[in-house]
Amino acid sequence: MRVALGVSYRGSAYQGWQSQPGGQTVQDRLEAALAQFLDNPVRVMCAGRTDAGVHALNQVVHLDTDAQREPFSWVRGTNRFLPDDIALQWCRPVDERFHARNSALGRRYVYVMRESPVRPALEAGLAGWSFRALDGEAMQAAAQLLIGEHDFSAFRSAECQAASPVKTLRRIHIERRGAYWRFEFEASAFLHHMVRNILGCLVAVGAGTRDARWLAGVLAARDRSLAAPTFPADGLYFVGPYYDPSLALPESTAAMDWLP
């Protein structure tokens, strides 16, 4: 049978999602815990790979197994073997045609940033930081220039393995909540570092060092060297993928109520 699992994690201690020889990745820890729970080696496929330091609220994975377990047993049993900063949130049996990555209709990210003259302390690793005052209207206006299907090569890392730089960015929403800015991104899929590279450009616009015309030029030039530096991963959260409603897979977790 094939099962889908929802996973949340704090990425600060890990070298990203994807398995690496050193074993210090979220995938390595999750597969090790599942192997202990099932008493068999396990490989999982995720909806979207996250970078070092990036967090996830509802990462979705699937795996194939002969084990017969109740959904609550998958969650509680696997969580016994996971570190405190990684936890299964839900389990659902799915059709064998379901694929965590290929079946996704889109993906969402949120970036949380503190605007303050001094750096964060309690939020260290969980929120980005701007010591400059930011103009929300300017950032939102610039963001609208990126909506739609475009070649996002200017916001793609050199290590990106995507077959094509053309993606459909469906939504960017920016709002301020007290001292914190919340940037919401939704797209068909994202390139490696795409959100963090776009964010660096939006912050430059918000701080007044660049304007919207500059961002439009960066997008059109398709040249990474013209864009702003990659913003730190600290405040980036992979909200998760979403699927056809007929699959009835959870699109929210408790952590979404906690996130500012």
Residues 137 and 119 in one domain: yes
Distance CA 227, CA 218 (A): 6
| Residue count (the chain) | 260
Residues 80 and 134 in one domain: no
pLDDT of residue 121: 95
Task: Decide if 124 is inside a domain.
Answer: yes
Task: Decide if 99 is inside a domain.
Answer: yes
H/E/C letters for each residue in the chain? CEEEEEEEECHHHCCCCCCCCCCCCHHHHHHHHHHHHHCCCCCCEECCCCCCCCEEEEEEEEEECCCCCCHHHHHHHHHCCCCCCEEEEEEEEECCCCCCCCCCCEEEEEEEEEECCCCCCCCCCCCEEECCCCCHHHHHHHHHCCCEEEECHHHCCCCCCCCCCEEEEEEEEEEEECCEEEEEEEECCCCCCHHHHHHHHHHHHHCCCCCHHHHHHHHHHCCHHHCCCCCCCCCEEEEEEECCHHHCCCCCCCHHHHCC
Residues 85 and 157 in one domain: no
Task: Decide if 212 is inside a domain.
Answer: yes
Task: Decide if 189 is inside a domain.
Answer: yes
Domain boundary among 67, 87, 103: 103
Strands 2-9 and 86-94: antiparallel
Q: Hey, which residues does 181 pair with through a beta bridge?
A: 113, 176
Look at residue 16 and tell me whether its pLDDT is greater than 90: yes
pLDDT of residue 41: 94
CATH value at residue 188: 3.30.70.660
Residues 99 and 110 in one domain: no
Tens digit of each residue's pLDDT (9 = 90 or more) over 163-218: 999 999 999 999 999 999 999 999 999 999 999 999 999 999 999 999 999 999 99
Task: Decide if 243 is inside a domain.
Answer: no
Phi/psi for 217 (5° steps) reads: -70, -40
Residues 58 and 150 in one domain: no
Distance CA 129, CA 179 (A): 10
Residues 66 and 177 in one domain: no
pLDDT of residue 23: 84
Task: Decide if 256 is inside a domain.
Answer: no
Tens digit of each residue's pLDDT (9 = 90 or more) over 224-247: 999 999 999 999 999 999 999 999
Range of the domain at 145: 106-237
Residues 129 and 96 in one domain: no
- Nearest Cα to Cα of residue 77 among 29, 28, 27, 33: 33
Domain boundary among 103, 132, 165: 103
pLDDT of residue 260: 67
Residues 147 and 193 in one domain: yes
In which band, very low, low, confident or very high, does the pLDDT at 159 lie, cut at 50, 70 and 90?
A: confident
Distance CA 260, CA 256 (A): 8
pLDDT of residue 238: 98
Number of domains in the chain: 2
Residues 127 and 143 in one domain: yes
Domain boundary among 77, 103, 129: 103
Residues 151 and 49 in one domain: no
For the segment 93-119, the average pLDDT, to the nearest whole number, is 97
Task: Decide if 156 is inside a domain.
Answer: yes
Tens digit of each residue's pLDDT (9 = 90 or more) over 119-157: 999 999 999 999 999 999 999 999 999 999 999 999 999
Q: Hey, which residues does 177 pair with through a beta bridge?
A: 180
pLDDT of residue 165: 95
Residues 42 and 112 in one domain: no
CATH value at residue 19: 3.30.70.580
Catalytic residues: 51
Percent of the chain topping pLDDT 90: 92
Residues 96 and 142 in one domain: no
Tens digit of each residue's pLDDT (9 = 90 or more) over 53-93: 999 999 999 999 999 899 999 999 999 999 999 999 999 99
pLDDT of residue 111: 98
- Nearest Cα to Cα of residue 48 among 248, 258, 242: 242
Task: Decide if 73 is inside a domain.
Answer: yes
